[in-house]
């Protein structure tokens, strides 16, 4: 139609109306609402457009691009004198209709910039979109060769190829739409996040949206985190350091306009759209706020159906999140929507949507979801987990002792010491169990935790065991962290989940067992816990203004939390600092009763074989006890298991099996420097092994004794 038109027909109102309203190339989005009726009879603009249609273009290259940019700017400058809002997408469609070989069907949206960047073409905000279009099409021509211009089918396919390429790009993490902005008429359909995955706060930023945009302008070319924070402080010198961090994190998590790539910050695609928008319009962030901020869509949806008073809107938000028990957070959401120009009116007589708010509300095509309050979750007015200061219910000591099963034979006095050490302080329920490896430290801790929940359907509900790993240097190993690649996601740990459950159920004791807690430095990975347990203060989880993935910024240290750590002191572990020892009670136990080991009763060995094994292991235990190289029930169980299995066949007789088991499970731990006590222990051990007719083990212990005499030290491994 455009290719065949004469100038006489071109300047008619009917043709101009068809030209400006056609969506054959690209949709208008919200720009479709801009009234361009005044342009249909504008002789100057019509002359400029005919010049575009009828002039001979400069050769392909910089001159042609400069010509197109200049003509576009002339049209834009004139239109801005005639209309209150600039119809950018409509003008693009007019240009692409007049010169279809020079433009793609992606229009002047960030979509063409995204494709250009994927092709390695510079396309940051500030480079004119005509330049970006020409660069993309020139790249395609260089790779694929020239084609006949539209309306030839070959040229039409080339015009739509950029759109096709864009649809093949991986979806970005911050994309909230189900289609590309130019894929279908109207706005792309949004994908709302479930209520339990939305942010439940909006931070107040002095200056409103214009301040958000000015901060983005500072980061437009990229900047470091520290430079950006310094810029925030320059805008508002009165901000505390925590508020500076919160503002920085709000731009990432609440608004989705800033992206952190390590220490380097750049605007996201959404942030670029804000910078490119006309008159700092906030519509570019509408998809993020509507789909990611809890309650934002509820307000717009409610006002779409009629006016509401401020009291009614606050009551609605209280139902959206039962954790909002005061109007603090709901009030911030209302303040931001008012600041963004989405509604206006009187708070007492009723608010109504503005034209801008109506456009935002039209994007909501789902029933807004309400957040149910978990039955064990209590939030305070700031969105933090609340702690009931009532008593912690726990069984009497006699009931705890009686709850220990038969496979956990611990002296009642030891259980009583553990109980008293845990509960003698009002908030610091922290005990370290030290001593013999395999003596049952972890078993004691776990059985005690289960005894605290005696009578419950699941006695393990109040127990969590955390095997400490070497290389834990910070609290993230226990408390989790904000995902650096997705700032609205918190990487939770099992420990954190257990901690939150304890906080939400303050009337019951919850026990964490830190198994082998000194494989790393506890004062490093437990730092927030050690500081908070002293006074029952706050545990800082993250610096954002609201909860992330259900994790609040901070919680008060639960006074119903027990921490029991187990330690073994050897060359592979770290010593405990005074900061840890000042807050913990230390229970050390080195003795076990070999005869009391409960595994003897279930053995398949004969009574005579069991008697011999008890005697040998008992004498070895007594010989090695003075130098703390004796063994616990785990070792006894391993030896008993090996001998029993070996005797189930016919190849290994009892003495050989016992000899092999002692050599394998007891002797490898023997080591030390020359001393009268160690020489005596080795001598007694050797005599026991020789009398028991265990030649392999006896020979090895004799070898260790010789090393001790000749070199001054002995090691099984040498």
Q: How many domains is the chain partitioned into structurally?
A: 4
Q: What is the rounded distance in angstroms from the CA atom of residue 291 to the CA atom of residue 571?
A: 54
CB-CB contact of 180 with 188 (8 Å): yes
Hey, which residues does 493 pair with through a beta bridge?
none
Q: Which residue has the tokens 């810029």?
A: 231
Answer whether residue 686 shows pLDDT above 60: yes
* Helix, coil or strand: residue 352: strand
Q: What is the rounded distance in angstroms from the CA atom of residue 137 to the CA atom of residue 116?
A: 10
| Confidence at residue 573, expressed as pLDDT on a 0 to 100 scale | 65
Asked which of 36-50, 121-135, 497-511 is least confident by mean pLDDT, the reply is 121-135
Q: What is the rounded distance in angstroms from the CA atom of residue 216 to the CA atom of residue 228?
A: 9
Q: What is the rounded distance in angstroms from the CA atom of residue 508 to the CA atom of residue 346?
A: 48
| Confidence at residue 384, expressed as pLDDT on a 0 to 100 scale | 44
Task: Summarize the confidence of residues 139-153 as an average pLDDT.
Answer: 91
Whether 371 is covered by a domain: the verdict is: no
| Confidence at residue 264, expressed as pLDDT on a 0 to 100 scale | 82
Question: Which residue, among 91, 112, 77, has the nearest Cα to 36 in the 3D structure?
Answer: 91
Whether 385 is covered by a domain: the verdict is: no
Q: Which residue has the tokens 């608004």?
A: 255
Asked which of 170-179, 624-633, 659-668 is least confident by mean pLDDT, the reply is 170-179
- The torsion angle over the Cα atoms of residues 645, 651, 656 and 659, rounded to 10 degrees, is -40
Residue length, the chain?
Answer: 718
Helix extents (H) in 505-562: 522-525, 527-533
Question: Which residue, among 336, 331, 80, has the nearest Cα to 209 in the 3D structure?
Answer: 336
Predicted TM-score (pTM) of this structure: 0.48
Q: What is the rounded distance in angstroms from the CA atom of residue 90 to the CA atom of residue 560?
A: 64
Answer whether residue 179 shows pLDDT above 50: no
- The torsion angle over the Cα atoms of residues 41, 43, 46 and 47, rounded to 10 degrees, is 170
Whether 245 is covered by a domain: the verdict is: yes
Answer whether residue 269 shows pLDDT above 80: no
Q: What is the rounded distance in angstroms from the CA atom of residue 111 to the CA atom of residue 105?
A: 10
Q: What is the rounded distance in angstroms from the CA atom of residue 421 to the CA atom of residue 435?
A: 17
Q: How far apart are the first and last CA of the chain?
A: 92
Q: Does one domain contain both 585 and 608?
A: no
Q: Does one domain contain both 553 and 624?
A: no
Residue by residue, DSSP assigns 379-422 as: B-TTSPBP---SPPP---HHHHHHHS-TT----HHHHHHHHHHH
Confidence bin at 242 (pLDDT 50/70/90): low
**Residue scoring higher pLDDT (618 or 268):** 618
Q: Does one domain contain both 645 and 526?
A: no
Q: Does one domain contain both 585 and 625?
A: no
Whether 173 is covered by a domain: the verdict is: no
Q: What angle do CA 415, 419, 422 make, to 5 degrees?
A: 140
Answer whether residue 473 shows pLDDT above 50: yes
Q: Does one domain contain both 679 and 626?
A: yes
**Residue scoring higher pLDDT (226 or 368):** 368
**Residue scoring higher pLDDT (378 or 55):** 55
Asked which of 185-199, 288-302, 453-467, 572-586 is least confident by mean pLDDT, the reply is 185-199
Q: Does one domain contain both 112 and 206?
A: no
Task: Summarize the confidence of residues 55-76 as an average pLDDT.
Answer: 90
CB-CB contact of 282 with 359 (8 Å): no
Tell which of 568, 589, 610 closes a domain. Answer: 589
Answer whether residue 287 shows pLDDT above 70: yes
Contacts of residue 619, Cβ cutoff 8 Å, sequence gap at least 6: 684, 688
Confidence bin at 188 (pLDDT 50/70/90): low
Tell which of 118, 149, 167 closes a domain. Answer: 167
pLDDT tens-digit map of 385-399: 444 445 788 889 999
Q: Does one domain contain both 600 and 585?
A: no
Q: What is the rounded distance in angstroms from the CA atom of residue 356 to the CA atom of residue 25?
A: 26
- The torsion angle over the Cα atoms of residues 615, 620, 621 and 626, rounded to 10 degrees, is 140
Confidence bin at 297 (pLDDT 50/70/90): very high
Confidence bin at 600 (pLDDT 50/70/90): confident
Whether 181 is covered by a domain: the verdict is: no
Q: What is the rounded distance in angstroms from the CA atom of residue 336 to the CA atom of residue 324?
A: 17
The interaxial angle of helices 13-21 and 88-98, nearest 10 deg, is 110
Instruction: Compute CA distances 325 → 105, 220, 407, 503, 549, whole Å.
Output: 50, 39, 49, 18, 20
Task: Summarize the confidence of residues 211-225 as an average pLDDT.
Answer: 84
Peptide bond into 150 cis (omega under 30): no
Q: Which helix (H) or strand (E) holds 433?
A: strand 430-435
Q: Does one domain contain both 134 and 199?
A: no
Q: Does one domain contain both 408 and 536?
A: yes
CA Rg value for the chain: 37
CB-CB contact of 2 with 98 (8 Å): yes
Answer whether residue 358 shows pLDDT above 80: yes
**Residue scoring higher pLDDT (204 or 540):** 540
Tell which of 589, 605, 632 closes a domain. Answer: 589
Whether 373 is covered by a domain: the verdict is: no
Q: Does one domain contain both 425 and 478?
A: yes
Q: What is the CATH number of the domain that holds 412?
A: 3.40.50.300
Answer whether residue 181 shows pLDDT above 60: no
| Confidence at residue 183, expressed as pLDDT on a 0 to 100 scale | 42
Whether 379 is covered by a domain: the verdict is: no
Whether 660 is covered by a domain: the verdict is: yes
Burial class (CB in 10 A: 0-12, 13-18, 19+), 39: buried
Q: Does one domain contain both 329 and 458?
A: no
Hey, which residues does 264 pair with through a beta bridge?
224, 261
Percent of residues, the chain, with pLDDT higher than 90: 37
In terms of residue numbers, what domain contains 26?
A: 7-167
Q: Does one domain contain both 581 and 614?
A: no
Answer whether residue 545 shows pLDDT above 50: yes
Q: What is the rounded distance in angstroms from the CA atom of residue 34 to the CA atom of residue 344?
A: 21
pLDDT tens-digit map of 476-504: 999 999 887 777 788 889 999 999 888 87
Q: β-pairing, 561-567 with 510-515?
A: parallel
**Residue scoring higher pLDDT (206 or 67):** 67
| Structure-token pair, residue 177 | 């739409």
Q: Mean pLDDT over all residues of the chain?
A: 85
């Amino acid at each position: 139609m455009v290719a065949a038109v004469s100038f006489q027909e071109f300047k008619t109102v009917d043709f101009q109306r068809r030209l400006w309203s056609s969506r054959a190339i690209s949709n208008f989005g919200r720009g479709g609402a801009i009234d361009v009726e005044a342009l249909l009879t504008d002789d100057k603009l019509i002359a400029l457009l005919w010049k575009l249609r009828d002039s001979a273009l400069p050769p392909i290259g910089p001159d042609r691009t400069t010509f197109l940019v200049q003509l576009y700017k002339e049209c834009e400058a004139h239109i801005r004198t005639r209309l209150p809002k600039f119809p950018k997408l409509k003008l693009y469609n007019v240009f692409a209709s007049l010169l279809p070989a020079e433009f793609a069907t992606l229009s002047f949206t960030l979509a063409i910039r995204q494709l250009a960047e994927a092709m390695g073409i510079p396309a940051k905000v500030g480079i004119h979109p005509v330049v970006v279009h020409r660069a993309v099409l020139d790249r395609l021509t260089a790779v694929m060769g020239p084609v006949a211009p539209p309306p030839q089918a070959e040229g039409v396919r080339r015009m739509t190829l950029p759109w096709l390429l864009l649809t093949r790009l991986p979806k970005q993490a911050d994309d909230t739409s189900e289609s590309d902005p130019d894929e279908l008429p109207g706005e792309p359909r949004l994908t709302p996040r479930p209520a339990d995955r939305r942010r439940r706060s909006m931070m107040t930023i002095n200056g409103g949206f214009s301040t958000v945009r000015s901060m983005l302008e500072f980061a437009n070319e990229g900047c470091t985190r520290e430079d950006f924070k310094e810029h925030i402080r320059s805008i508002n010198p009165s901000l505390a350091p925590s508020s500076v961090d919160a503002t920085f994190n709000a731009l990432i998590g609440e608004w989705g306009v800033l992206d952190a790539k390590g220490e380097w910050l750049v605007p996201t695609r959404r942030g670029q759209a804000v910078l490119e928008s006309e008159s700092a319009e906030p519509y570019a962030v509408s998809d993020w706020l509507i789909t990611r901020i809890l309650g934002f869509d509820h307000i717009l949806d409610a006002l779409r159906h009629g006016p509401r008073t401020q009291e009614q809107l606050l009551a609605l938000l209280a139902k959206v999140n039962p954790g909002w028990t005061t109007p603090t957070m709901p009030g911030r959401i209302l303040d931001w929507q008012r600041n963004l120009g989405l509604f206006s009116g009187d708070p007492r007589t009723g608010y109504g949507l503005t034209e801008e708010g109506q456009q935002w509300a039209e994007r909501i095509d789902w029933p807004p979801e309400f957040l149910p309050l978990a039955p064990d979750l209590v939030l305070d007015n700031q969105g933090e987990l609340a702690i009931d200061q009532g008593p912690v219910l726990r069984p009497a000591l006699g009931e705890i002792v009686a709850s220990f099963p038969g496979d956990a034979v611990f002296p009642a006095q030891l259980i009583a010491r553990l109980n008293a050490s845990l509960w003698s302080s009002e908030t610091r329920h922290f005990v370290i169990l030290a001593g013999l490896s395999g003596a049952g430290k972890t078993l004691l801790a776990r059985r005690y935790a289960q005894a605290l929940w005696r009578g419950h359907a699941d006695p393990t509900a109040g127990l969590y065991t955390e095997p400490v790993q070497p290389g834990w240097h910070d609290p993230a190993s226990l408390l989790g962290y904000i995902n650096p690649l997705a700032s609205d996601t918190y990487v939770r740990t099992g420990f954190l989940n257990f901690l939150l459950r304890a906080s939400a159920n303050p009337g019951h004791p919850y026990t964490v067992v830190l198994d082998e807690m000194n494989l790393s430095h506890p004062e490093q990975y437990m730092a927030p816990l050690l500081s908070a347990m002293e006074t029952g203060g706050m545990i800082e989880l993250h610096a954002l203004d609201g909860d992330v993935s259900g994790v609040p910024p901070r919680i008060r240290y639960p006074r119903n939390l027990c921490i029991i750590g187990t330690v073994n002191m050897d060359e592979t572990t770290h010593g405990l600092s005074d900061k840890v020892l000042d807050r913990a009670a230390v229970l050390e136990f080195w003795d076990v009763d070999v005869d009391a080991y409960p595994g003897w009763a279930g053995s398949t060995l004969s009574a005579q074989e069991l008697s011999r094994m008890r005697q040998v292991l008992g004498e070895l235990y007594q010989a090695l006890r003075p130098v703390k190289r004796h063994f616990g029930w785990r070792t006894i169980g391993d030896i008993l298991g090996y001998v029993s299995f070996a005797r189930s066949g016919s190849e290994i007789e009892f003495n050989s099996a016992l000899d092999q088991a002692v050599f394998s499970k007891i002797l490898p731990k023997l080591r030390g420097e020359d001393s009268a006590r160690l020489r005596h222990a080795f001598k007694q051990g050797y005599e026991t092994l020789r009398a028991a007719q265990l030649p392999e083990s006896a020979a090895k212990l004799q070898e260790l004794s010789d090393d001790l005499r000749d070199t001054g030290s002995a090691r099984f491994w040498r």
